[in-house]
Amino acid sequence: MGRLDGKTALITGAARGQGAASARRFVAEGASVIVGDVLDDEGKELADELGDNARYRHLDVSSEQDWSQALEDISATHGNVDVLVNNAGIVHFSPIEKTSLADYEHVIRVNQIGTFLGMRAVVPGMSAAGGGSIVNVSSIEGIAGMAYLTAYSATKFAIRGMTKVAAMELGGRGIRVNSVHPGMIDTRMVQDAAGGANVDMTPIGEKVALGRIGQPAEIAELVVFLGSDESSYCTGSEFVADGGATATHALSIG
Rounded distance between C-alpha atoms, residue 171 and residue 86, angstroms: 18
Alpha-carbon torsion angle 149, 152, 156, 162, nearest 10: 130
Task: Kindly state whether residue 171 falls inside one of the protein's structural domains.
Answer: yes
User: Does 3 map to a domain?
Assistant: no
Is residue 45 situated within a structural domain?
yes
Provide the domain limits for residue 175: 8-245
Q: Assess if residue 82 is contained within a domain.
A: yes
Residue from 92, 105, 118 nearest 13 by CA = 118
| pLDDT tens-digit profile, the chain (254 residues) | 899 999 999 999 999 999 999 999 999 999 999 999 999 999 999 999 999 999 999 999 999 999 999 999 999 999 999 999 999 999 999 999 999 999 999 999 999 999 999 999 999 999 999 999 999 999 999 999 999 999 999 999 999 999 999 999 999 999 999 999 999 998 877 667 656 667 787 888 899 999 999 999 999 999 999 999 999 999 999 999 999 999 998 887 66
- On whether the CB atoms of residues 75 and 68 are closer than 8 A, the answer is no
- Please give the pLDDT value at position 66: 98
Between CA 170 and CA 202 the distance in angstroms is: 41
CA dihedral 152, 153, 155, 159 (to 10 degrees): 130
Sheet (strand 8-12) strand order: 54-58, 32-37, 8-12, 83-86, 132-137, 175-182, 238-241
Residue 103: burial class (beta carbons within 10 Å; 0-12, 13-18, 19+): middle
Please report the pLDDT score of residue 197 as a whole number: 65
Q: Is residue 152 annotated as part of the catalytic site, yes or no?
A: yes
What type of residue sits at position 72? E
pLDDT at site 238: 98
The answer as to whether 252 is a domain residue is no
Short-list 169, 157, 168, CA closest to 107: 157
Q: Work out the angle at residue 190's Cα, subtended by the Cα atoms of residues 189 and 191, and round it to the nearest 5 degrees.
A: 95
Domain presence at residue 1: no
* CA–CA separation, 183 and 145 (whole Å): 12
251 φ, ψ (degrees, to nearest 5):
-90, 0
226 within domain boundaries? yes
Total domains in the chain come to: 1
pLDDT (0 to 100) of residue 254: 60
- Which amino acid is located at 234 in the chain? C
List 56, 104, 148, 152, catalytic entry: 152
Read off the CATH number of the domain in which 182 is found: 3.40.50.720
Q: How far apart are the first and last CA of the chain?
A: 44
With 0.75 as the threshold, say if the pTM is over it.
yes
Q: What is the DSSP letter of 241?
A: E
- The answer to whether position 251 is within a domain reads no
